[in-house]
Amino acid sequence: MPMDLQRRHFLRGKVGTHKQPTRMPWLIDIDQFSSTCTQCEQCITSCKENIIVKGDGGFPEVNFALGECTFCGDCASVCPEPLFNQSDDKAPWDYRASINNTCLTYNNVSCQSCQDSCEPRAIVFEYTIGKPPTPSISSEACTGCGACVATCPSQAIDIQLPTA
């Protein structure tokens, strides 16, 4: 019987406080993940970046505080279950970076660490007279790799699915 993570959060008093975990790239169906994943941990041990960790209920999830995803595909390749679809024409996932109001620049402190770590240059800073430059993220250029998360000193960046 698959684990009902929503029920688990309810019973632990975490209703409405738990953010959906970030799963691995190239998943066919994120909603069916917990009912198909056997928790074999092969994806965890194969991750060269060591960002896939054992999450809630023992299911693997990506932790960007530990680093970025290079989209090497090793997690998908070693999985014994039919959970992944790695095709050249399919983006690894729909996750994108977002910046919240704890960003240092919104508090008049100059910082551009996220821009410096963003290889696709999806984060740019807009300059204004009399204020520190403020960040802007291009959702088209952002791959959701998470390189910006670990470098942010105020933990103002989150990688999440776009809201509908």
Q: Is residue 12 part of a domain?
A: no
Q: Looking at residue 16, what is its pLDDT?
A: 54
Q: Looking at residue 1, what is its pLDDT?
A: 44
C-alpha 19/C-alpha 106 separation (Å) is 24
Q: Looking at residue 20, what is its pLDDT?
A: 84
Domain residues for 134? 96-160
Nearest to 59 by CA among 81, 80, 34: 34
C-alpha 35/C-alpha 37 separation (Å) is 6
Q: Is residue 67 part of a domain?
A: yes
- Provide the annotated binding site: 37, 40, 43, 47, 69, 72, 75, 79, 142, 145, 148, 152
Is 0.85 topped by the overall pTM? no
Listed residues 63, 89, 115: the one ending a domain: 89
Nearest to 147 by CA among 71, 84, 47, 88: 71
Q: Looking at residue 61, what is its pLDDT?
A: 97
Query: Which tokens is 145 given?
Result: 């790799």
* 103 and 45 fall within a common domain: no
- Provide the annotated binding site for [4Fe-4S] cluster: 37, 40, 43, 47, 69, 72, 75, 79, 142, 145, 148, 152
Which ranges of the chain have pLDDT less than 70?
Answer: 1-18, 164
Q: Is residue 2 part of a domain?
A: no
